[in-house]
Amino acid sequence: MTQTARQPASPEAQAAKLRGILESAVTAIITIDDGGHIESINPATERLFGYGATELIGQNVKMLMPEPYKAEHDGYVTNYLGTGVKKIIGIGREVSGRRKDGTTFPLHLSVSEFSADGRRYFTGMIHDLSDRRHVEEALRESERRLAQAQKMEAVGQLTGGIAHDFNNLLLVITGNHELLELQLDRDEQKVLLKEAQEAAMLGSKLTDQLLTFARRRHMDAQVIQINDQLVGITDMLRRTLGEHVMLSTSLARNVWATRADTGQFQSAIVNMAVNARDAMPEGGKLVIETRNIELDGDHADFHPELRPGQYVQLSISDTGSGMAPDVRDRVFEPFFTTKEKGRGTGLGLAMFYGFVKQSGGHVTIYSEVGHGTTCNLYFPRVDGIAPRQSARDKGTTDPEARETILIVEDDERVRQLTITRLKLIGYQVLEASDGPKALDLLTKGHPVDLVFTDLVMPGGMSGREVAARARQLRPGIKVLLTSGYAEELVHGDSSERERLKVLRKPYHQADLVTALREILATSAV
């Protein structure tokens, strides 16, 4: 039997095969001439940049570049054609691209060269690096949080050791004071000894505070209802805060039980209230809230010490001066304080932190300079009984989701996470990093059914202002706000509370599904 020799494909078949390869490639491929004009693109390029082929063919490839690459591109081409010096051809490098909607993204560009019909052409292979960058940024943030947790653990061990040794010294001092007192007859000598003894007792209280931070203080832990504990100290908190700071509580019904030392719990809350009061010298508002919450793996990724599970969340929010990131990262360190000399020891929040950690819980802080601070405490639920319907039971997608949502969020990591969540639900998504960019998209006529905006953003335009301007531009458009602050702090008054819904951070995917569907299903206001 003889084999039939394989006949070479016709030029038409070869061309069809080449077109199929280009059109099916997942990598964006662009070919330009020696003048920088786009000769051809593949479908992956259209998907990546948001332009159709007719919008790109014949245009200068600079339109796909942000500054400074756009201004420098023609010079690179001219220099290469004149000198042959390669800066990117055959080498590849990471640069940035610009989509049709104006957003930029990181990419890896590899360029090759070929000649045809007496002219020189260049082919660019483009790989989107957005996902990799997001993973790298999330990893760096997790590493920072882990390093912070390890530092606090090391400081706690050192502090606990010092406090233990210092307590032994104080025991010797106070014990000898008591023995000496039995041998003194003169009153003036007893007065001097009493002053020394009182100073030693203050030292003992100091070491007790250090041991609390180091999580080595004895705890009489018992099953408690946090709501009951808070109700019991409400009057004390009002007296502590004074007449210029208003106290408001929002305690959820049927809050799960947790385990903690009641005395230390009350002291911790008072310490937080005192710190909040000092951050509001001109007066303000302190809000205390409780709720049941089930944290998933997404939250654990951002907080290495916080395991997924069921918790009672206690939020303490103030309208004070807020904290810069460098202050926030050190706020729980013993003896760290931003107060004037003589107005604080720097141990109140350290004790607070130590108590929560020793109770098996965790603390996170959300703060904005000039806006205030929210401190979230997570206490583990003491039993394993599942709630009647957890967030996951509600569903994480929505078969009815067909609308377009404009997400407005200044934090790049949060924005990209939200985009992923919205697309998973089934929505079309537009994005903006601040209020002016969001309004620009609305002005240009992009179809938007709902604006999902962070409440507090830099740049002078808040989420409330974005909502108001959006409704002026598009009467009937729906709005959902999100914030890390306590709910009462983000609503200006009762009428506004009826018109604007706020989704509290952190939230589950199912919470997002429910909130969006509820708003989109309502009639315009």
Hey, which CATH number is domain 404-521, 3.40.50.2300, 1.10.287.1080, 3.30.465.10, 1.20.58.1610?
A: 3.40.50.2300
Residue 163 has a CB neighbour count (10 Å cut-off) of 22
> What pLDDT is stored for residue 164 in this prediction?
56
State which of 138-152, 183-197, 227-241, 327-341 shows the largest mean pLDDT: 227-241
> What pLDDT is stored for residue 348 in this prediction?
54
Of the pLDDT bands very low, low, confident and very high (cuts 50, 70, 90), residue 233 is confident
Hey, which CATH number is domain 17-132, 2.60.40.10, 3.90.1150.10, 3.40.50.10440, 3.30.450.20?
A: 3.30.450.20
Does pLDDT of 147 surpass 80?
Answer: no
Write out the H or E segment, with its range, that includes residue 114. strand 104-116
Does pLDDT of 385 surpass 50?
Answer: no
> What pLDDT is stored for residue 177 in this prediction?
66
Residue 194 has a CB neighbour count (10 Å cut-off) of 12
Beta strands 478-483 and 450-454 are: parallel
Please name which of 161, 192, 193 lies closest in space to residue 175, comparing C-alpha atoms: 193
Beta strands 284-295 and 309-318 are: antiparallel
Could you say which DSSP state residue 339 is in? S
Of the pLDDT bands very low, low, confident and very high (cuts 50, 70, 90), residue 368 is confident
Q: Where are the domains of the chain?
A: 17-132, 139-214, 222-380, 404-521
- State the Cα–Cα distance between residues 327 and 330, nearest whole angstrom: 5
Does pLDDT of 251 surpass 80?
Answer: yes
Q: What's phi and psi for 82, nearest 5 deg? A: -85, -30
Q: What's phi and psi for 28, nearest 5 deg? A: -70, 130
**Residues 333-359: tens digit of each pLDDT:** 665 565 555 444 455 566 677 777 777
**Residues 24-51: tens digit of each pLDDT:** 777 889 988 888 889 888 998 899 899 9
Mean pLDDT of 423-447: 90
Does pLDDT of 388 surpass 50?
Answer: no
Superfamily for the 222-380 domain: Histidine kinase-like ATPase, C-terminal domain (3.30.565.10)
Does pLDDT of 219 surpass 60?
Answer: no
> What pLDDT is stored for residue 377 in this prediction?
87
Domain 139-214 has CATH 1.10.287: yes
Does pLDDT of 289 surpass 90?
Answer: yes
* CB-CB contact of 38 with 58 (8 Å): yes
* CB-CB contact of 428 with 403 (8 Å): yes
Does pLDDT of 218 surpass 80?
Answer: no
Please give the full DSSP string across 475-518, using - where no structure is assigned: TT-EEEEEESS-GGGG--SHHHHHH-EEEESS--HHHHHHHHHH
Of the pLDDT bands very low, low, confident and very high (cuts 50, 70, 90), residue 452 is very high
- State the Cα–Cα distance between residues 482 and 463, nearest whole angstrom: 9
